[in-house]
Structure 1
């Protein structure tokens, strides 16, 4: 089962609409719709919120290889950005 299917199942098991879940997670209803349909994926921070809200592990949410790959790419991008900032500061000090 992919992430979108799991999210939809968790939401429905609580009797929530997409709008109600969006409000609980501080995201738009459109974001929930995209995540459930597989047309988009949540950020790492949103995954943490979803995990906490439904009391499930992130591992349980992330069974699909595609989502794991996207999360790794986001993490690598964040690391590169931090390194660029640090090297920029070092260059300014010289």
Structure 2
């Protein structure tokens, strides 16, 4: 099967000039790769795969799956990034990165970073392929939370053990929410230390 360098670029929505600039090669070099006049190095093929959000096997014509990992992932609301510290996520339908919730950014293998505010769409591995459990629905706003009598609370912490201990059903009080064990989260820390949801996740 022929290489799919050009097809993958077009599917990613990039024109020749944009892709060449992001790959730090000339348009002529990229055009030569796409036409088969030249063969890129292994390192260049890896960069092409990362840039276009496909697998190396797809670029080389060894599979028809654009990205095997994308097939076992599901869409997640970008508001959930703060819960996903050190988790791999598929970002903006383009490539996989690792969440740095402490610094509010996503880090990629090429050393580049993307701020949470620039994330339009994320996906993560389906539950069968991931270790922890994370909220998948959009959180309630603070005002919505204040109008509920009982909510499901998810602490915001990179400490998975702490999250598991403190997550659960909480009763909504005047200035805080409280669970049956007396643990409290105050409304003035909403969005920084915790988020509320309608349902158990």
Normalised to the residue count of structure 1, the TM-score between the two structures is: 0.58
Q: Corresponding residue for 1:37?
A: 35
Q: Which has the larger radius of gyration?
A: 2
Is the partner of 1:19 in helix, strand or coil? helix
Q: Root-mean-square deviation (CA), in Å?
A: 1.6
In 1, Cα distance between the equivalents of 2:46 and 2:27?
18
Could you tell me how far 1:51 is from its partner in structure 2?
Answer: 1.1
Q: Corresponding residue for 1:71?
A: none
Runs of 4 or more off by more than 6 Å in structure 1?
none
Is the partner of 1:2 in helix, strand or coil? coil
Counting helix residues as a fraction of each chain, which structure ranks higher? Answer: 1
Structure of greater relative contact order (alpha carbons < 8 Å, 6+ residues apart):
1
Contact 2:23 2:47 in 1 (8 A): yes
Contact 2:8 2:59 in 1 (8 A): no
Could you tell me how far 1:13 is from its partner in structure 2?
Answer: 2.1
Deviations 1:33-89 (A, max 9, x none): 10111100111110110111122111111127xxxxxxxxxxxxxxxxxxxxxxxxx
The alignment covers a number of residue pairs equal to: 62
Match of 1:57 among 55, 58, 79: 55
Structure 1 unmatched ranges of 5 or more: 65-94
